Structure 1
Amino acid sequence: MNTCGRLDEHAKERKSFTKQAYAPGLKGPGPLGRIDFGNPALKPMLRMMADNMKKDTRAYHPPEGLRLRSLSVDNGNGRQIWCFVMEPEGEETRSLPGMLYCHGGGFFLPLQVPALRLAAKYAAALHMRIFLPEYRLLPEHPAPAAFDDCLAVWRQMMVRAEALGLDATKILLYGESAGGALAAGMAQQLLAECDVRPVGQLLIYPVLDDRCGRYASMEQSVDVAWPRSSNEQMWREYLRDITSPAAPLVPLRTDYSALAGLPPAYIEPQEIDILHDEAVTYAEALTAAGITVQLNEVSGSYHGFDAESDNAFVSRVIQRRLCAMKTMLESSSRQPRP
């Protein structure tokens, strides 16, 4: 496992989460992680919040040189999935590398502007098309709805690659937080089906396991961006119709021997995050299965820290991600496709 160095500009030693020892320059987390998404009394407020987020995404204008468009994707059962596409301007007829971006939000919240800002940076730097599906959300749609929607978008990207301007041999999977569970699970599902696979997976502070008590970082959950109580509530709601949770819906519930053959991975745990240890555990499992893994443990950072995408500290982390993406895309040109 290649750690590619640790972004350790703040602290050499791991510190208690309760001290909130954030890296200099970071503003600190917002209040979203402290909301009880399972509280019925909060449903009207949460619905209004989600509606406002959707309005913001539709009003977003990307930087010069990029365009943001939308398209409707058939999920295979006659239902349409709304999907944003971030892409370079003037490249409508050219085949470009692509990425499926599974956004975070605890399976409760829709695509948000910070994800679009990150997608814009990735699309501009790597000259690629990035697809961001608006998958179905809790509380109305528990698992496997979100997973099925993202998988349907992936399959349409493959089937319609030429029409969508995609080089199907150079497609990445990207997931942040809850989207990390979707991206990691999709990589496992595509491998099991011997389907067309991504050339790399990027998992950013990913949610990977519903068995919260297995990880020491879960105990250090006081006053952090995403507390254990919210994480447990999220999993209860997401898996409420699932009798026996298993992979790919819960990526770390997989048989580790089945991981061989997965695409290279970039995994990014944040130091001050209850999810830190499960991200490291998954990186170790992939490495043991012979998968190339770049583990970038970011010191002084917290869940959702990259919402400040123009922050100098965040910009350096983004450069690490871009480096990993570029390596994956370039390596795909030298490897035979399955």
Structure 2
Amino acid sequence: MAAIPAPPYDAELSVALAQLPVGPKLSKEILPMLRQLTGSMYTAEKATAGRQITVEEQTIPGPNGDINISIFKPSTSTDKPRPGIYFIHGGGMFMGNRYLGASFLCDWVEHLDAVGVSVEYRLAPEHPHPAPLDDCYTGLKWVGEHFGELGIDPERLMLAGQSAGGGLSASLALTVRDKGGPTLRALCLICPMLDDHNDSISARQYPNVGTWNQEKSAFGWSSLLGDQAGSEGVSQYAAAARAKDLSGLPPTFLDVGSAEPFRDEVVTFAAGIWKAGGKADLHVWDGAFHGFDMLVPSAKLSVAAVGTRLDWVKRML
């Protein structure tokens, strides 16, 4: 099959991409190494370095053992309830920890004088669907039961996630809508992983190049869903793109790069929210690869994306 022409990378990001290390081919055998690497790269100390933020580690009872969460708060005290942000990390469903992407969470904690909670969920393939979602749902319900203790305003709670965490956040928002849970003021989906079909034009435009691609997505979805990935009958709570009805979701922010595999599924998901009469604020960043704003934060496009997202979060909370 002939290659599909792909949108080019932003010039500044292209230079940075060429300097990023090329990761090994994904397999179950290298997962321990990848998890150890991300565990050392992303820590509470690195997420809060240079910030006036304190971190409290908490263990809560989960559906199959304890769940670890990290609570990020401004160092200054206040008697007034603060906005709350419940964050779900990325990592393709098979790696990462609750500090991956916490730089975004800490930005919001600082700029909004908010309380951030990041959840550690069980990883596939050892723990396939619904284990990751069950853990995230348990953590969110725990937050809803402890608003007073956490100092969170129940009327200002946002659910947010990046990449695989964005996909879990979308599925979690559907779960809250259908099964109950704390009221969500807003939903923020950063380059979310939504569609287990993994066969859109944008996925095929980036089959094995870039920071994330169709090949890596295939590994992530098969880790989560096994042989069911891409087949009939996959639940919307496993892959949010499967949802036939996107009504009843909170106002939703979605952003994605034009030069990455998730572009088309994110655009389609936003269109589904509009079709249902909902509110979706969609941004497709021209020439951006997956995770550009986290991997190259100084790039002009990254600064624009982070600033646009922050402005929306401020309006919502």
TM-score, scaled to structure 2: 0.88
**Match runs of 1:86-235 below 5 Å:** 86-91=72-77, 94-111=80-97, 115-213=101-199, 215-221=200-206, 222-235=208-221
**Match runs of 1:291-330 below 5 Å:** 291-307=278-294, 308-329=296-317
Which letter maps to 1:219? R
Residue 24 of structure 1 pairs with residue 12 of structure 2:
yes
- Relative to structure 1, is the Cα distance of residues 172 and 44 closer, same or farther in structure 2, using a 3 angstrom cutoff? closer
Structure 1 residue 310: deviation in Å? 4.4
Question: Which ranges of structure 1 fall in alignment gaps of 5 or more residues?
Answer: 1-14, 330-338
Residue in structure 1 matched with residue 273 of structure 2 by the alignment: 286
Structure 1 residue 50: deviation in Å? 4.2
Aligned mates of 1:58, 1:319 — CA distance in 2:
23
- Relative to structure 1, is the Cα distance of residues 93 and 196 closer, same or farther in structure 2, using a 3 angstrom cutoff? same
- Name which structure has the greater RCO, CA cutoff 8 Å, separation 6+: 1
Which letter maps to 2:9? A
**Match runs of 1:227-266 below 5 Å:** 227-240=213-226, 244-256=233-245, 259-266=246-253
TM-score, scaled to structure 1: 0.83
Tell me the SS of whatever aligns to 2:237: coil
Aligned mates of 1:82, 1:194 — CA distance in 2:
22
**Match runs of 1:51-70 below 5 Å:** 51-53=39-41, 56-60=42-46, 61-70=48-57
Tell me the SS of whatever aligns to 1:302: coil
Aligned mates of 1:113, 1:187 — CA distance in 2:
21
Residue in structure 2 matched with residue 9 of structure 1 by the alignment: none
Give the CA RMSD over aligned residues: 2.4
- Relative to structure 1, is the Cα distance of residues 283 and 85 closer, same or farther in structure 2, using a 3 angstrom cutoff? same
Structure 1 residue 68: deviation in Å? 2.4
Which letter maps to 1:24? E
Sequence identity, in percent? 26
8 Å contact 2:39–2:97 — kept in the other structure?
no
Which letter maps to 2:201? A
Structure 1 residue 94: deviation in Å? 4.0
Tell me the SS of whatever aligns to 1:269: strand
Residue 36 of structure 1 pairs with residue 25 of structure 2:
yes
- CA-to-partner distance for each residue in 1:15-69, whole Å, 9 max, x for gaps? 954x75224266227446x5433343x244234324434xx40442433322222
Aligned mates of 1:156, 1:241 — CA distance in 2:
33
Residue in structure 2 matched with residue 336 of structure 1 by the alignment: none
Question: Which ranges of structure 2 fall in alignment gaps of 5 or more residues?
Answer: none
Q: What is the aligned residue count?
A: 306
